[in-house]
Structure 1
């Protein structure tokens, strides 16, 4: 996910993304931002932060742990927000989504 400086929520989304760098996929031990799992952060509803993301596979056994990690990380920065994590499967996640930093951490 790339932020646009023209986004009216640029500052808040930057803070959220910084927090999400602390959430690791427990199997790969790489954060969800560098893995390319976060597709969008929606702040259009006051008091609500929706993180639209995917997982590396539909059968991810630790998906709930990742979701809870996202909620915890975002609530740490925005304690009064209602954090919603929406898991989507379209577009399908692929290894091409991994950032250069993520590839380095994985040894690619």
Structure 2
């Protein structure tokens, strides 16, 4: 799973320009029968960008030197995402673009 998580570092939130791992959106990664199962969240269940991120994930996991045969995202809304889930690298990247979290 470290290789999958590494690829997810290239999946960028279109609003912030920061990867989904450092933003704390990736809550879990597992693989079963060649299928990557990603447990993810976003800042809001109403976020219109899930499709954009799913396309980026497809590119990273399936199109570019495939790591798995397929993937599935289990969107998790409880508990709600909070800034506490942002990694130290994510905080640094946010500060670099003017956010103070």
- Give the TM-score normalised by structure 2: 0.85
Gaps of 5+ in 2: none
Aligned equivalent of 1:3: none
Aligned equivalent of 2:12: 24
Query: Once superposed, what is the RMSD of the aligned Cα atoms?
Result: 1.4
Deviation at 1:79, TM superposition (A): 5.4
Paired residues of 2:4 and 2:67 also in contact (CA < 8 A): no
Q: 1:58 pairs with 28, 45, 59, which one?
A: 45
Separation of aligned partners in 2, 1:54 and 1:64: 13
Aligned equivalent of 1:88: 76
Q: SS where residue 31 of structure 1 aligns?
A: coil
Deviation at 1:82, TM superposition (A): 1.5
Q: What aligned pairs does 1:1-108 form with structure 2 within 5 A after superposition? A: 13-43=1-31, 45-75=32-62, 76-78=64-66, 81-107=69-95, 108=100
Aligned equivalent of 1:6: none
Residues 14-71 of structure 1: CA deviation (Å, up to 9, x unaligned):
100110000010001110000010011121x212111110111112121110122122
Gaps of 5+ in 1: 1-12
Q: SS where residue 61 of structure 1 aligns?
A: coil
Deviation at 1:104, TM superposition (A): 1.2
- Give the TM-score normalised by structure 1: 0.80
Q: SS where residue 89 of structure 2 aligns?
A: helix
Aligned residue pair count: 95
